[in-house]
Amino acid sequence: MSGEFGIVRRCFAPLAKGEAALGLGDDAAVFSPPPGRSLVATADAMISGVHFLPDDPPDTIARKLLRVNLSDLAAMGAEPLGYLLTCAWPKGWKEDWIEGFAQGLAEDQERYGIALLGGDTVGTPGTLSLSLTALGTVEAGRAMTRSGARVGDSVFVSGTLGRAAFGLLVRRGGLLGLNQDLRTALTEAYRLPDPRLDLGRALVEKRLATACLDVSDGLLADLGHICQASGLGAVLWSEHLPLSEPVQEAVAEDLETFPLVLTGGDDYELCFTAAPGAAEELMSLAQQLGLPLTQVGEMQGGSGVRVLDRDGNALIVQAEGWQHF
């Protein structure tokens, strides 16, 4: 049998491992968080031509959809548990594309130790539209939020900034001065973010962060969210922003691209605040995880985010982050 049931059974049923999903054969998934842990839920949508390019490989589209949601769980310090997926396929969508998509999910399920819990596949006269709800658990009462930052807290980011935004530039035919290796590295960062689940978990376990979120809209906008939720302002030091080699080269090539480091979306690094005394423990955590953690600024009174250059002069950054809509 072809149609909805055939494709679900063939491609997606094998992804529904574990008792919770009831083999996708039932109306809903049933599961219980372990004692002492709360449930965490988040949902993100991705649309062809908006959040990925139509000719991106289907397996990386699937994995990005999963990972941007896992990144939200990471930002709360949660352990992922499973996900529900709805897909709206354009009529006549190729089955081998769907198979590649399911293969990408299978690969990342394995990597993150999670399973498909349920969902829906429908046809659409429009564009390929995907929506994923990720569920996880966190120690009860310990989920990190955006609202706990205090005056004097240090602002940290994990990894490096701007890779995804510069990767999108490459995909759109820009940054032609860069060599192929650097272009490929940037493209891959755009296609396949790396949700910082280990970092999120460690920050909760060690009680190191006062506020946390993932950088999906650009550091400037996202730190702005922490400021707003915490009722504070913040300063960012432009010369401390951690840049990967390809981004350094791209900025050297064209200085005009520098604001993308602050406003480019899709990095999915964690931005968090921590008491000044936590610095040493954070440096040892960074070493343990093999993931740079860089202090990029400080929480202050007032409101909004100011960006200062090495001489302490305020930089004007045009676009306040990335808005999908």
Taking the complex as a whole, the smallest distance from the CB of residue 161 to a copy of itself amounts, in Å, to: 18
Q: What is the DSSP string of 201-236?
A: HHHHHTT--SEEEE-SS-HHHHHHHHHHHHT-EEEE
- Note whether 29 binds a copy of itself by CB under 8 A: yes
| Calpha distance 307→233 (Å, rounded) | 11
Which one among 11, 62, 84, 185 touches a copy of itself, defined by CB under 8 A?
A: 84
Which one among 10, 14, 17, 45 touches a copy of itself, defined by CB under 8 A?
A: 45
Taking the complex as a whole, the smallest distance from the CB of residue 105 to a copy of itself amounts, in Å, to: 15
The full length of the chain comes to 325
Give the containing element (helix H, strand E) for 64.
Answer: helix 58-76
Long-range contacts of 50-53 (CB under 8 A, 24+ apart): 50/324, 51/324, 52/191, 53/171
CB-based contact 164:265 (threshold 8 Å): yes
* Residue ranges in 47-66 that form contacts with a copy of itself under rule CB under 8 A: 47-51
- Note whether 87 binds a copy of itself by CB under 8 A: yes
- Residue nearer to a copy of itself on the CB measure, 229 or 243: 229
- Residue nearer to a copy of itself on the CB measure, 15 or 76: 76
- Residue nearer to a copy of itself on the CB measure, 36 or 152: 36
Give the containing element (helix H, strand E) for 240.
Answer: none
Q: Interior CA angle at 41 toward 109 and 203, to 5°?
A: 80
Which one among 94, 111, 113, 126 touches a copy of itself, defined by CB under 8 A?
A: 126
Taking the complex as a whole, the smallest distance from the CB of residue 67 to a copy of itself amounts, in Å, to: 14
Q: Interior CA angle at 46 toward 43 and 52, to 5°?
A: 145
Binding-residue pattern over the window 191 to 230 for a copy of itself, x denoting contact by CB under 8 A? ----------------------xx----------x---x-
- Note whether 38 binds a copy of itself by CB under 8 A: yes
Question: Could you give the angle at which helices 163-171 and 245-253 cross, rounded to 10 degrees?
Answer: 60
Residue 315 has which token pair?
A: 């930089």
- Residue nearer to a copy of itself on the CB measure, 78 or 105: 78
Among 97, 69, 71, 101, CA closest to 83: 69
- Note whether 43 binds a copy of itself by CB under 8 A: yes
Q: Interior CA angle at 86 toward 55 and 91, to 5°?
A: 55
- Note whether 40 binds a copy of itself by CB under 8 A: yes
Binding-residue pattern over the window 144 to 173 for a copy of itself, x denoting contact by CB under 8 A? -xxx--------------------------
Taking the complex as a whole, the smallest distance from the CB of residue 129 to a copy of itself amounts, in Å, to: 4
Residues that bind a copy of itself (CB under 8 A): 3-5, 7, 22, 25-33, 38-51, 72-73, 75-76, 78, 84-89, 117-127, 129, 131, 133-136, 138, 140, 143, 145-147, 213-214, 225, 229, 323-325
